Structure 1
Amino acid sequence: MSDVAGPSRRETRALLARAARTQADAEAVAEIAGAARAEVVAAYAVASEPQVWVAIEKMSIETVKDTVDGRARLDDLPAHGIRSVADVLRAGPQRLTRVPGIGDGTARKTIHAAEQLKRAARDSLQFRIEYDPKNPDMTRLVRALNTFGAVWRAAGTQEKDAGRLAAELARQRPVAGPAEAGRLRRLFMRAGDKAVADDAAREVRALVDAAEVAGLPAAAKEARAVRTPGDRQVWRDFERRSTDYYDLLSLVVGLGGDVAASEGFLPADIVERVGAQQLDSSRLSDTLRLRGYQSFGARFALVQRRVVLGDEMGLGKTVQAIAAMAHLAARGATHFLVVCPASVLINWSREIARHSTIPVVSLHGGGRARAVARWRAEGGAGVVTFGSLGALALPPPRPALLVVDEAHYVKNPGAKRSQAVNRVAAESERVLFLTGTPMENRIDEFRALIEHLRPEIAAGMGPEHAAISVEAFRRAAAPVYLRRNQSDVLTELPELVQVDEWEEFGGEDGSAYRDAVRDGNFMAMRRAAFAVRRPRDSAKLTRLLELAREAMANGRKVVVFSYFRDVLAVVAAALGPDARGPITGSTPVAERQRLVDRFTAERKPAVLVCQIEAAGVGVNIQAASVVILCEPQVKPSIEAQAIARAHRMGQVRTVQVHRLLIADSVDERMIELLGSKAQLFDAYVRHSTIAQATPGAVDMSEVQLARMIVAQEQERLSGVPVS
């Protein structure tokens, strides 16, 4: 023993000092993370309770009767004011037993059934964090999530192992205190057995070394330094990045949802194959947490290889495509290609760089030849516009994944961009079409997309096939098509309130409208309501200003959409310094994003003025919670896309949509004729119970639509004054 007492004692003291620090760090991480997690659970229980009660208020007494012994006499409960599950729980046994025919036993069974139903309602609750800084329960939850998020960022990867490490070190090293020689001997010498002492020292050293390499000391330091900001700052942070808060909440309480809806109601065999596919996330950024339905979408693309992802706007199709690319990159793939409209090229480059470690190469604009050469040599995600794709020669090796965004742009097989996409798709290992609007006017347009991917499937889903039933059409499309709707999977999405603002023409705008009808000028008819010298002479403009000013007075930002640039000019002039933009088709793509970024960052409410086909795709405007549409659009999908710019993942406020309409005008005619288009879209592209619709129901071109409306209005106004 004396031969090793001196050096061994010093080395052991140093090792035990390191072990003590490591144990303290591990205990701190476990304690801080555990406390933050527990506070989220407690805060959620309190904040969710009112929403649970709202759910059981909607459960009629019939649901209780179905759960209780069928012989129980509960038919008289509604007559005594007990009509729902919530009423049963509020009533309690004393009030229940006052109802004729209900004794103590029946009352107990009834309350027990109601409690079971309440638990079921809580388990299936589609919880939403209500944006209400004055609500103390919601504020507590948002604060708890903010704290947990900070702790998770500091120590999330260490949390799982911290408790185990602390316990193991506590077992290996002596009770905390001075490292006396006798205690060291008892620990490491074990009755003079040097071999046992060396083994014990090696085990402790291995634990400490592994913890230090993994970054435990830094994680503990950051976790100890976490401080929760004030309530106002927390709510501001929630408004800015609410999706992160929901992701954190789902980590702790496991938010539920409709599993079948998240899987797109696909057949069981496809769901099983997708479920068996693992998703390698090692090339994704640490800050990205995929939702369950997003992971499913990425895995669907990997398993089925050549598919259309038709998720409704706002569900993160871009992220799902990036996740599929990252998986393939982690498995050795080198080349990827994204084809998109020019308006979203910058957004794609930013999102790939933000969410993955895949190099991004822009194959558009000046220096394109050098960029293409670099992409060929070094790989990465090449991003190219539809217009530039034709001049792009495929590099060896061929793309591991071709992503085509806004894929409905290639629905016309005769168009040059469609042919260019088809050539690249034929050479690509996997192809992923992204579109929230795979069909606009006819079922044939949807089938045309499938032709690019799986011609043999497209051959089995022609017009005559679709005419059989919606479900038959969807079964045929299942191997190649996945769609989820916001209402099914994005349970936290706030309410969408849509209001039709009907007005009547005044003197000046009415005169402009009659002139346009007489001339048979469809476009002039659509924008006649804004053809005025003074704002008060336009019923639409007057209402627009009222809506915008009321919204801004309530702290809300507004986005105004119109198809027409001259309408936007009139609107911007009337709004004066409150107007931002306009964003039009001639606004450079980079400038569009800068305008949106500045609008988002502004603390003061303002109005962003946008041309609907320029800003209705590719930019996210969650900062706005009020949308004003100046006129109906020829395609329902264009309007839906525009609304989805604001009503999408990350929005925390109820979104108000106001459609400005003039009675007895082109507006009313368009709504009547286009209603069937929207219905057809719902039937075949959304999951719907509409059972019968034929593909030719709305086989009408824009030119035919214009001619029909002009003729109707000319007939109506012949001899009939508008005002």
Structure 2
Amino acid sequence: MDGAGTVGGAGSVGRDERDTVARGARLYEAARALSANHERAVEAVRAALEPLRDAAVRRELDAIPVSRLQDVTEGRLRLGSVGGSGLRTVGEVLDAGPYRLRQIPGVGQRTVDRMLAAARRLAEAAQETVAVHLDVDRPEPRTTALVAALHVLVEAGPEVRRAVDRAAGLERRLGPLLAEAGPATGRLRMLVAGREGRARALSAVAGVRSLTEEAEREGVPELLAQASVDLLRGPATEAAAWVDFALRSAEYYGLLAEVSGRQPPRAAAEGFLPDEIAERVRAQRLDDTHRRVSLRGYQAFGARFALAQRKVILGDEMGLGKTVQAIAVLAHLAAEGRNRFLVVCPASVLVNWTREIEARSALRVTVLHGPDRHEAFADWRERGGVAVTTFDALRGFPAPGDGGSDGDDGGDGSGEVGLLVVDEAHSVKNPLAKRSQAVARWVERCERALFMTGTPMENRVAEFRNLVGMLDPGIADALGGRDAPAGSVAFREAVAPVYLRRNQEDVLAELPSLQQTDEWEELSASDEEAYQEAVLAGNFMAMRRAAYARPEKSAKLGRLREIVQEAAENGHKTVVFSHFRDVLGVVEGALAPRDGGREALRPDTAAPVFGPLTGSVPAERRQRIVDGFAAVEGPAVLLAQIQAAGVGLNLQAASVVIICEPQVKPTVEHQAVARAHRMGQVRPVRVYRLLAAGGVDERMVRMLERKTRLFDAYARRSAVAEATPDAVDVSDTELARRIVEEEQARLGAAGGSLTTAE
């Protein structure tokens, strides 16, 4: 009776069970298909990488003299007669093989075996350490194949990683359940399964239903389907892949390091932290639900460090992505339910922060700056999200808990600030300054704080101690009054709970040698006034350099000084390009004031200024200026008119490039940057293009990107394009006319006729 009832019952609910299993099976197959598609894409990268890595290993071995084999065997090899055989390098020894080596007079089997074993050890070491670099200006079939394969994964975006992780979890959980639920797909199968088999099948069906419904609620089927579509699009054209690589090469190299398994040494990526702290940081989970960018391994560790330690200084060297790490922390805390965050930064990077958060996360951004900042502050308190403000504006806002102004949350904590981020934190190192006191008050009232600075603060212990004191007074007191030497093991261990710094040379073995950043600045009131006067006059050239017309209040000039200062403190040389001679004069006055003018850079890091190189400087004198710039030990600054220095000079001594304004011809920028980014450059080159939001710069950038980016970036690699840049650029006069007319309309100015004279 029980059996008949069970079978009958099974028949009455069989359709529901079959539908449930069918839905689960479709989800399972979608997960398996995505995993297979992703593995094929990854395997395509590995296949394209292998010959390039083999060639790099071969070049390495061909550069190692045979004598190094003695070092590997601790002097046990006798190589006297090998040198006379014509074998000069380790690569040639491996090519010779055992037979030819045995033909060398005086070389026996034992020596041959030791020699080859030592050569193979060097080959294995080279295999582990060589880095593959992709030269965008000299593409060849093998590098093009790798860029095209990487393009598929990069174009698919970070969503694919999330989808692949979900697919792996579904495969792992659904596979066994679907196998167990098999009898429930037919009445006869249920009948022969027996009592225990039927019970297991029905239990498995319930598990499949639960997993499937959960996945459908979270939109997983659509996520898997979209990821598969993105991966199956196949590689783009070779030209498009190279153009995309040039625009976001860091993403390509990050993915390449991940696929190849070539991550930096763990100790370096973790800032050489003590084991106890490093273990705690590694155990910290990192939620990427609200993040739209993939992280390199060391960046993920930096975000985990900030989360695990709560109040810290992230002191990574410039160019390592401190902003991305901060956004990862914000996104994680938002996923945990925190809904209000505050970023404090110099006015010069306010626009950058806003754009970065919007581009790299799903978080809402509110700018607390300008005349409406108090209304914006009230809106942020009510609606939440990430507020971005300046050091000066912060002083006008009530800190959490001041008079109950920030605690209207019914006591549940939902109104608290989840994270306070302080960018360019070395700006608040003076405890007597009002901005420092305002930041200190906010840090005290917030549960978490993240200070960011690319300046190696440990070189000035007194200043460093002041920053640490805001975050952890106990550690600051432990530092005492002594002047600890930079790099001291004891000093680094003492500050390890609150301080993490990584250097480029330690963690970026495969980073491209060129990184480009658009620095968007918000014009000061004085800048805006000068700009409006130029628009009213219809003077295109005056519009382009209006941001430098009044140096005392110039937002661009302030940011330029900050970049030069940070580069100098890190020992880097900087070249500053502008189209305009008078702009270079303004920059020179700001960096190297004469006649008792105000000091531009701190005395301990002041960088000598060379130039300016202009079209009127004879070629011989130009080279003497460049040679003098290169000969300086440590930081230096070279000022150069972009047309004059863009061709024919070798500026590879510089690893930081600043372009004061966008150029009408993108090829001019490419050629100028190529003076520093060229063969023989031993450091990654960081390029900063200073741009003003909302005016001529923004319109120029948009027009040139929309009209010429693909064609120009592709064509400039041909000999014809290099020789005749005018062939691929937009007409100067036409672009100027359109921009002037549009700006006059935007500002309501009945302007004069177009003027393009300098």
Task: Give TM class, smaller chain.
Answer: 0.5 to 0.7
Describe the superposition over 1:239-261 as per-residue Cα deviations: whole angstroms up to 9, x where unpaired.
22233333433443322212222
Residue number in structure 1 paired with 2:512:
494
Specify every segment of 5 or more residues in structure 2 that has no aligned partner in the other structure, as ranges.
401-405, 408-415, 515-571, 577-583, 601-607, 623-638, 650-655, 671-686, 711-715, 718-758
Distance 1:532 1:254 in 2: 47
Residue number in structure 2 paired with 1:255:
262
Residue number in structure 2 paired with 1:446:
464
1:452 to 1:112, Cα distance in 2 relative to 1, 3 A: same
Residue number in structure 1 paired with 2:51:
46
Distance 1:590 1:185 in 2: 70
Between 202-211 and 245-254, the greater mean CA deviation after superposition:
202-211
1:293 to 1:3, Cα distance in 2 relative to 1, 3 A: closer
Counterpart AA for 1:284: H
Number of residue-to-residue matches in the alignment: 570
Residue number in structure 2 paired with 1:416:
434
1:166 to 1:469, Cα distance in 2 relative to 1, 3 A: closer
Q: Does the 8 A contact of 1:187 with 1:197 survive in 2?
A: no
The answer on 1:433 being equivalent to 2:440 is no
Q: Please report how far the alpha carbon of residue 130 of structure 1 lies from its aligned counterpart in structure 2 after TM superposition.
A: 4.0
The answer on 1:231 being equivalent to 2:231 is no
Specify every segment of 5 or more residues in structure 1 that has no aligned partner in the other structure, as ranges.
176-180, 502-508, 552-557, 563-567, 607-623, 626-723
1:657-672 paired onto structure 2 within 5 Å? none
Residue number in structure 2 paired with 1:646:
none
Counterpart AA for 2:445: E
Q: Does the 8 A contact of 1:404 with 1:434 survive in 2?
A: yes
1:452 to 1:227, Cα distance in 2 relative to 1, 3 A: same
1:115 to 1:422, Cα distance in 2 relative to 1, 3 A: same
Q: Does the 8 A contact of 1:325 with 1:336 survive in 2?
A: yes
Between 68-77 and 224-233, the greater mean CA deviation after superposition:
68-77
Residue number in structure 2 paired with 1:160:
168
Distance 1:164 1:219 in 2: 15
Q: Does the 8 A contact of 2:459 with 2:486 survive in 1?
A: no
1:136 to 1:271, Cα distance in 2 relative to 1, 3 A: same
The answer on 1:37 being equivalent to 2:55 is no
1:300-339 paired onto structure 2 within 5 Å? 300-339=305-344
For 2:275, which of 253, 259, 268 is the aligned residue?
268
Distance 2:446 2:360 in 1: 23
Q: CA RMSD for the aligned pairs?
A: 5.0
The answer on 1:87 being equivalent to 2:92 is yes
Counterpart AA for 1:131: V
The answer on 1:390 being equivalent to 2:392 is no
Q: Does the 8 A contact of 1:283 with 1:330 survive in 2?
A: yes
Distance 2:255 2:667 in 1: 39
Q: Secondary structure at the match of 2:646?
A: helix
Q: Does the 8 A contact of 1:188 with 1:198 survive in 2?
A: no
Distance 1:596 1:432 in 2: 35
Q: Please report how far the alpha carbon of residue 234 of structure 1 lies from its aligned counterpart in structure 2 after TM superposition.
A: 1.5
Residue number in structure 1 paired with 2:646:
548
Describe the superposition over 1:186-224 as per-residue Cα deviations: whole angstroms up to 9, x where unpaired.
534327x58856854774685477456263476247525
Q: Secondary structure at the match of 1:190?
A: helix
Q: Percent identity?
A: 37
Distance 1:217 1:291 in 2: 27
Q: Secondary structure at the match of 2:496?
A: helix
Q: If the length of structure 2 is used for normalisation, what is the TM-score?
A: 0.62
Counterpart AA for 2:287: S
1:251 to 1:365, Cα distance in 2 relative to 1, 3 A: same
1:384 to 1:486, Cα distance in 2 relative to 1, 3 A: same
Q: Does the 8 A contact of 1:30 with 1:159 survive in 2?
A: yes
Describe the superposition over 1:59-81 as per-residue Cα deviations: whole angstroms up to 9, x where unpaired.
55455334448644235434444
The answer on 1:594 being equivalent to 2:698 is yes
Q: Does the 8 A contact of 1:151 with 1:226 survive in 2?
A: no
Q: Please report how far the alpha carbon of residue 530 of structure 1 lies from its aligned counterpart in structure 2 after TM superposition.
A: 5.8
Q: Which has the higher contact order (CA 8 A, sep 6+)?
A: 1
Distance 2:269 2:10 in 1: 65
Between 382-391 and 63-72, the greater mean CA deviation after superposition:
63-72
Counterpart AA for 2:246: E
Describe the superposition over 1:550-597 as per-residue Cα deviations: whole angstroms up to 9, x where unpaired.
69xxxxxx96557xxxxx8xx989x999699xx999985555983795
Counterpart AA for 1:399: V
Distance 1:260 1:121 in 2: 20
1:432 to 1:471, Cα distance in 2 relative to 1, 3 A: same
1:185-224 paired onto structure 2 within 5 Å? 186-190=188-192, 196=197, 200=201, 203=204, 207=208, 210-211=211-212, 213=216, 215-216=220-221, 219-220=224-225, 223=228
Q: Secondary structure at the match of 1:466?
A: coil
1:435 to 1:78, Cα distance in 2 relative to 1, 3 A: farther
The answer on 1:134 being equivalent to 2:167 is no
Distance 1:328 1:298 in 2: 11
Q: Secondary structure at the match of 1:237?
A: helix
Q: Does the 8 A contact of 1:56 with 1:121 survive in 2?
A: yes
The answer on 1:243 being equivalent to 2:250 is yes
Distance 1:537 1:105 in 2: 62
Q: Please report how far the alpha carbon of residue 455 of structure 1 lies from its aligned counterpart in structure 2 after TM superposition.
A: 4.3
Q: Does the 8 A contact of 1:40 with 1:141 survive in 2?
A: yes
Q: Please report how far the alpha carbon of residue 165 of structure 1 lies from its aligned counterpart in structure 2 after TM superposition.
A: 7.5
1:356-395 paired onto structure 2 within 5 Å? 356-395=361-400
Q: Does the 8 A contact of 1:127 with 1:491 survive in 2?
A: no
Distance 1:327 1:451 in 2: 26
Residue number in structure 2 paired with 1:352:
357
Q: Does the 8 A contact of 1:33 with 1:159 survive in 2?
A: no
Distance 1:336 1:346 in 2: 17
Q: Please report how far the alpha carbon of residue 16 of structure 1 lies from its aligned counterpart in structure 2 after TM superposition.
A: 7.2
Distance 1:104 1:585 in 2: 62
